[in-house]
Amino acid sequence: MSKLILGIETSCDDTSVALVDRSGAVAAIKTVSQYDIHEAFGGVYPELASRAHLHAILPTIQTVMTDAATTHSDLEAIAVTRGPGLIGSLLVGLSTAEALSMGWGVPAYGINHLRGHIRSAALEGGITEFPAVVMLVSGGHTLIAFLENEWSYRLLGTTRDDSVGECYDKVARTLGLGMPGGPAIDRAAARGTPVLRLPRPMKNDAYEFSFSGLKSSVARHVETHPDVSVDDMSASFVAACMDVLAAKAERALKECAPKSLVIVGGVAASAQLRETMSALVERYGVTLSLPPVKWATDNAAMIAMAAWDYVERGVQPDLMPKPNLSLET
Ligand code: KG4
Ligand code: ZN
């Protein structure tokens, strides 16, 4: 049996555990969602999130090890998210990983969640050719960066206010589509037509993003036109997001001349985003690197995948929690 890395991800509101081999094949994975716990609060309630992680973490590890018929002697390493994220949630994963590491005599690697998202595109046989331009679009982050290789990153730009995923979630709430907002908007948009005129904030401002104006514009429109078609509004909102994201990606393709465009993070599960970016790369003759849809959102497989890079390099990042960790650290 080839060696596996046990990945643990508890940075926000999902307790996820996975076993991944060097090729990126996922031997087993389980993600326990806390959706029901936080729904009533309209957002993640940090104190409840840490308690739920504490409750779920050991049984989830046990399930995944059993599913893959694995024992700790098959493990190359344990990989755990050390940031960015909620401190209480991060600490549950980190202390569990540290305890298992000591008990089993297996090294533990503290992994940057953002680096995990980027490496999600290498899961299940995915290939990222370097140099690459990466666009990370999730609930917590929106950024675009140039990657010379796996190790050298140059941040091109990020959002001034909301992330794209946050904007999807808030617009879904305004439209009464419930949570999780991204997939709900995605489905409604597929039924609608983008007939409503919405702004494209900062579309032509180099690599900076801004989404709060778009969100407020939807809210204002719904207030003044309560009978607006939810499907048409969703389609119009998605069209505005796609225009902005495509403009930034296109600028980076022109200026950085990469071999591949990597789109990762929860919003990379969007069918519209996948279509938009496929059309774009075709025009520029670069490859499109995407995670499998099911692992675009937070999961432990991507954390284990990122740890394999460190194993190969012979570097073992520490387990200090860093709630504000940035891409470049
Ligand atoms: O990467 P992720 O799981 O968590 C963070 O690291 O933030 O991203 C979650 C975000 C949510 O805002 C969710 O609405 C969005 O990803 N999302 C989607 C879709 N699935 C999830 N957005 C658009 N279309 C989807 N199908
Ligand atoms: Zn994430």
pLDDT tens-digit readout, 189-226: 999 999 999 999 999 999 999 999 999 999 999 999 99
Judge if 194 and 254 occupy the same domain: yes
Q: Quick one: pLDDT at residue 301?
A: 98
Ligand 1 lined by 181 (C-beta under 6 Å): yes
CB 265 within 8 A of CB 119: no
- Position in ligand 1 atom list of the atom nearest CA 140: 7
Judge if 231 and 153 occupy the same domain: yes
Q: Give the end of a domain, one of 233, 258, 283.
A: 258
Judge if 156 and 216 occupy the same domain: yes
Q: Is residue 108 part of a domain?
A: yes
Q: Quick one: pLDDT at residue 224?
A: 96
Q: Quick one: pLDDT at residue 35?
A: 84
Q: Quick one: pLDDT at residue 43?
A: 81
Q: Do β-strands 260-264 and 75-83 pair in parallel, antiparallel, or remain unpaired?
A: unpaired
Q: Is residue 179 part of a domain?
A: yes
Q: Quick one: pLDDT at residue 150?
A: 86
Judge if 109 and 151 occupy the same domain: no
Judge if 155 and 215 occupy the same domain: yes
Q: Is residue 290 part of a domain?
A: no
CB 188 within 8 A of CB 231: yes
Q: Dihedrals φ, ψ of 64, to 5°?
A: -65, -40
How many separate helices (H) and strands (E) can be counted in the chain?
10, 10
Q: Is residue 178 part of a domain?
A: yes
| Residue 10 burial (CB count, 10 A) | 34
Nearest CA to 315 out of 164, 181, 151 is that of: 151
Tell me the β-bridge partners of 215. Answer: none
Q: Is residue 134 part of a domain?
A: yes
Judge if 69 and 153 occupy the same domain: no
CB 48 within 8 A of CB 13: no
Helix axis angle, 212-224 to 230-256, nearest 10°: 160
SS3 label, residue 23: coil
Ligand 1 lined by 33 (C-beta under 6 Å): no
Which ligand has an atom closest to residue 14 CA? Answer: 1
CB 306 within 8 A of CB 79: yes
Ligand 1 lined by 270 (C-beta under 6 Å): yes
Q: Is residue 322 part of a domain?
A: no
Please list, in sequence order, all residues whose beta carbon lies within 8 angstroms of the beta carbon of residue 83, skipping any fewer than 6 positions away: 11, 90, 112, 113, 321, 322, 323, 324, 325
**Is 134 annotated in some ligand binding site?**
no
Domain count within the chain: 2
Judge if 16 and 107 occupy the same domain: yes
- Position in ligand 1 atom list of the atom nearest CA 299: 3
Which residues of the chain fall short of a pLDDT of 50?
none
d(CA 21, CA 40): 38
Q: Quick one: pLDDT at residue 138?
A: 95
- State which of 297, 299, 302 you would mutate to test the pocket of ligand 1, scoring each by most atoms of that ligand within 8 A of its C-beta: 297
**Helix, strand, coil share of the chain (percent; to 5):** 50, 20, 30
Q: Is residue 67 part of a domain?
A: yes
Ligand 1 lined by 138 (C-beta under 6 Å): yes
- Position in ligand 1 atom list of the atom nearest CA 141: 7
d(CA 256, CA 259): 9
Q: How far is CA 291 from the centre of its chain?
A: 10
Judge if 247 and 153 occupy the same domain: yes
What's the CA-to-centroid distance between 184 and ligand 1, angstroms?
Answer: 11
What's the CA-to-centroid distance between 178 and ligand 2, angstroms?
Answer: 20
Q: Is residue 58 part of a domain?
A: yes
> Domain containing 198 — which CATH number?
3.30.420.40
Ligand 1 lined by 237 (C-beta under 6 Å): no
What's the CA-to-centroid distance between 312 and ligand 1, angstroms?
Answer: 30
CB 251 within 8 A of CB 198: no
Q: How far is CA 99 from the centre of its chain?
A: 27
Judge if 176 and 74 occupy the same domain: no
**Is 139 annotated in some ligand binding site?**
yes
**Is 116 annotated in some ligand binding site?**
no
Judge if 60 and 141 occupy the same domain: no
Ligand 1 lined by 269 (C-beta under 6 Å): yes
Q: Where are the beta strands (DSSP E) in 38-131?
A: 75-83, 108-112
Judge if 115 and 134 occupy the same domain: no
CB 138 within 8 A of CB 165: yes
Ligand 1 lined by 201 (C-beta under 6 Å): no
**Is 113 annotated in some ligand binding site?**
yes
DSSP 108: E
What's the CA-to-centroid distance between 165 and ligand 1, angstroms?
Answer: 5
Ligand 1 lined by 180 (C-beta under 6 Å): yes
Residue type at position 301: A
Q: How far is CA 159 from CA 48, 124, 287, 298, 329, in A?
A: 28, 30, 25, 20, 18
Judge if 154 and 199 occupy the same domain: yes
Q: Which domain holds residue 194?
A: 130-258
